[in-house]
Amino acid sequence: MISRFTPRARELALTIDLCDGKDERSYDDALFDLIAAEKIPATVFVTGLWARHHTTELRWLTQQPLLEIANHGSRHKPCTVNGRSAFGIAGTRSLAEAIAEIDDNANLLEGMTGSRPRFYRSGTAHFDDVCAEAVQLLGEVPMGFSVAGDGGAGFDQAGVERALATANPGAIVILHGHRPNRFAFEGLREALPTLRKRDISFVRLSEISDRFEVR
Ligand SMILES: [Zn+2]
């Protein structure tokens, strides 16, 4: 699983997860409007659950030149072959189920966006070893993260701001974009001046995939 990359300059990779989307309002307009207005490149991980209920929003995301769409699984399951839970969410129970979780969503997203995702982050970003290998055999890269920018959507505004403003080059940062009542937008907005002062630039995962640090 990849959680960091070797930076060439003062680069951060911003990733935004869209996890659960049965509620049509599971979309943080303010966050995505901010990253578009500030021209921040980012990689957006989308589940099948979210994509099916947000076709208009997914189309908009796909049209943004600085964003790329990645795979967050069909049903937001931890990537396991034995059903083990991670953070209270039960994982896939077999290799066949894990493959379906990965590939069904890759097929769905390819159909909806016109390109097949290259990066896969499972629900909770948990992978067992067999499952991580299966992701690679399916042609995708198993992605974790190194900075929980919003603490799994649990941080307040000051917490998000601090996590982002202090992130080090080479970090893969995660925010959540399906919780508009949380503080990803406010925290990012407040952290931007500090990040700019630190000469931080943002990159998409596809721009740095030859510099991933394998653990
Ligand atoms: Zn998620």
- 186: domain CATH number is 3.20.20.370
180 domain residue, yes or no: yes
Percent of the chain with pLDDT over 70: 99
Element (H, E) at 105: helix 95-113
Q: What angle separates helix 184-197 from helix 29-37, to the nearest 10 degrees?
A: 20
Q: How far is the CA of 164 from the centre of ligand 1 (A)?
A: 18
The total number of structural domains that make up the chain: 1
Q: How far is the CA of 188 from the centre of ligand 1 (A)?
A: 19
164 domain residue, yes or no: yes
By residue range, what is the domain housing residue 176? 2-207
Q: How far is the CA of 174 from the centre of ligand 1 (A)?
A: 10
Q: How far is the CA of 27 from the centre of ligand 1 (A)?
A: 13
Token representation of residue 62: 């796909």
**Residues 98-152: tens digit of each pLDDT:** 999 999 999 999 999 999 999 999 999 999 999 999 999 999 999 999 999 999 9
Q: How far is the CA of 213 from the centre of ligand 1 (A)?
A: 22
Q: Give the list of residues 6+ apart from residue 111 with CB closer than 8 angstroms, or none.
A: none
Q: How far is the CA of 197 from the centre of ligand 1 (A)?
A: 30
Q: How far is the CA of 124 from the centre of ligand 1 (A)?
A: 6
pLDDT of residue 22: 76
* DSSP-assigned beta bridge partners for residue 143: 2
**0.85 exceeded by the pTM?**
yes
213 domain residue, yes or no: no
Q: What's the mean pLDDT when you consider all of the chain?
A: 96
Q: How far is the CA of 70 from the centre of ligand 1 (A)?
A: 12
Token representation of residue 173: 């940062």
Q: How far is the CA of 87 from the centre of ligand 1 (A)?
A: 11
- The arithmetic mean of pLDDT across residues 16-30, rounded, is 90
215 domain residue, yes or no: no
**Residues 179-199: tens digit of each pLDDT:** 999 999 999 999 999 999 999
| Backbone φ, ψ for residue 164 (5° rounding) | -75, -45
pLDDT of residue 23: 74
pLDDT of residue 15: 98
Q: How far is the CA of 103 from the centre of ligand 1 (A)?
A: 17
